[in-house]
Structure formats: C-alpha cells, structure tokens
Amino acid sequence: MTATTLVKLTMAQALNQALRDAMKADETVLMFGEDVGALGGVFRITDGLTAEFGEDRCFDTPLAESGIVGMAVGLAMNGMRPVVEMQFDAFGYPAFEQVVSHVAKMRNRTRGRVTLPMVIRMPYAGGIGGVEHHCDSSESYYAHTPGLTVVAPATVADAYTLLRKAIEHPDPVIFMEPKKLYWAKEEVDLSVEQPGIGTAVVRREGRDATLIAYGPTVPIALEAAEVAAADGRQLQVVDLRSIVPFDDETVCAAVRSTGRAVVVAEASGFASVSSEIVARVTERCFHSLAAPIRRVTGFDIPYPPPKLERHQLPGVDRILDAVDDLQWEDS
C-alpha cells in the first residue's frame, strides 16, 4: 500500500509550493514581476522564494508589464523557463501587445524552430471587494488568441498540479488564478497525480442537468447543486480546469447524460468563453438537448464598485433560476 501524505493548504500555499518545487527541479525556472521578491507578492504567492533561491531566480521588476513579458520572451528564447506575475488581471493589458504579437505567435512565426516555454500568472476575477483594474475576468482575450494555452484551477490540488504542468509545458501558458480562492483550504496529497492540462473533470454527479463552470464559479456551482438536491433536483457539475485546449469529450458526455445545461462564468457574457461553450456544446449535442443551454455570467458592464459586486457575480439564486428555465415537463 502506498503511503499518503495529507497536508492542509490554501490555494496560495499550493501555488507557492508548486513554484518552489519547480525551481528545485529545474534551475532554468525563474520567477519575476512586481513586488514578487522580498515582499513575496501582493498575495504572498512567491513568499520566501527569493530567500531560498536568491535574487537571480526570484526578483522584482519595474512597474512595466510590457517590459516584464518582453523580458520573459527573450529569456525563453534563450533556454530559460520564466514565470511572470501580472499582480492583478487588468495590469496585464499594457503587456497585451507582447502577448498577442510575440508570445502567442513565436512558434508559428519560426516554423517551430523557436518555442516559448513561459507562464504568465494572472490573479483574476472578483469576490475580494476590489475596484476596477483589480477584478477583471480577462480570459476571453487570451482564449481567443491562437497559440496560447489558458488554464483556470478551482481547487487547491489543481492549483499545484496545473501550475507544475504549465511550467513544464513547451509553449506559453496563461495561468488564471481566482483571487477569491487564494484562501480556500483543502487537505491534499500533492504527490497524487491529477489530470493534466486539457482535461475537464466531473466534480459532482447528477442526472437532471449539468452545470459547466471554471475557476471561481466552480464552488458556486457546487453550492447551487447542493441546494437543488435538497429540493429533489440532481445537478451535475463539470469543472473545465482548462479553457484552451477545451475538453469537448468530457463536457459533451456530461451534457448528453442529462440533456440540460447551464454555463456559469464571472466574465461578461457577450462574445465570451461562456458563449463559446454554448456554441460548441450545442453543435455537438443538439439532438441530446431537451432545452436551450442557459448562461449565468457577469453583466455586460465595467466591473462595479465593491459594495455592488455581489450583484455582478453569479450566485446560487441566479444559477437555480436558470435551471428552472430549462423547460421542465412539470413546469
């Protein structure tokens, strides 16, 4: 029998451990960004890394996101595996030109002769009482850009596994970290192999409808399923984990098994990852659907002030209202 080593960690601690283990395993792994050195980052994801590995491998940069990503491109072209932090989601926009024009295109531009094994860590989404520029859900911009892999963990175990996989990945990965889950705590065994990038998982089985979620909305979907169960309705919950590549096989099998689906995402709904999910699931599962797929998303507005964000974020009541609208025979 294999011995297990269970430890209770927050998502922030699991991310820190993933960086530490990756830097121990591979001396080409570097970590840099704004305040990630001695301070350990705004959310302490890099806490202690400078002390352990030195200022050559975990260091602060000027407040210049385009320069941070540009430097990572150069380092990756020369054999290093840089991991950079954007501090907050919307702080990544000044670096967007680097990401779209160079990070995403380098492999194709050089016909595979030059690859960029680099990770851009992106603390994202709301739920922490932050203001605009601190609570954006920017995954759609990156998911729409060919050449990028985009992942969003929702559990402590996945935060560790997916970041290790992202650092080992031969091409650039946008790593979306749900800020409000940084302090979520689980008992985990980090030695247990989790599914890799590109694989969705069913977090809860159910026969009546499927909730499709990723990142910060997975716990909300699970909470909604728990409430629905008390009323006799069994909701299945699928955690995408990876937005690009998208696991059509797992998602479509889940939707076909119930015939009804609701997509739950924090980002604004128009032209979004959620609308892409509805389109591709409808294309592949049309003859298995008992009702049109519904979405519960953020509204199509700039992110609201902290006191109003509860209205913007998908909640249990909005999810259950969407489930009620799925054309049930008894309604």
Burial of 217 (0-12, 13-18, 19+ CB in 10 A): buried
Q: How far, in Å, CA of 140 to CA of 272, rounded?
A: 5
If residue 83 lies in a helix (H) or strand (E), which one and from where to where?
strand 81-85
Q: Please give the C-alpha separations between residue 179 and each of 58, 121, 217, in angstroms, as whole numbers.
A: 21, 12, 12
Find out whether the peptide bond into 245 is cis, omega within 30 degrees of 0.
Answer: yes
Q: How far, in Å, CA of 279 to CA of 297, rounded?
A: 15
Give exposure, 234-267, as e/b (b: 16+ Cβ within 10 Å): ebbbbbbbbbbebbeebbbebbbebbbbbbbbbb
Q: How far, in Å, CA of 270 to CA of 80, rounded?
A: 38
Radius of gyration of the chain (CA): 20
List 102, 133, 134, 287, catalytic entry: 134
Amino acid at 49: L
Name the H helices within the chain.
11-25, 49-53, 65-77, 96-98, 106-109, 139-143, 156-168, 218-230, 248-258, 273-285, 309-312, 316-324
**Which among 236, 235, 241, 237 is positioned nearest to 214, based on CA atoms?**
241
Is 134 marked active-site?
yes
Burial of 70 (0-12, 13-18, 19+ CB in 10 A): middle
Amino acid at 216: P
Show which residues are catalytic.
134
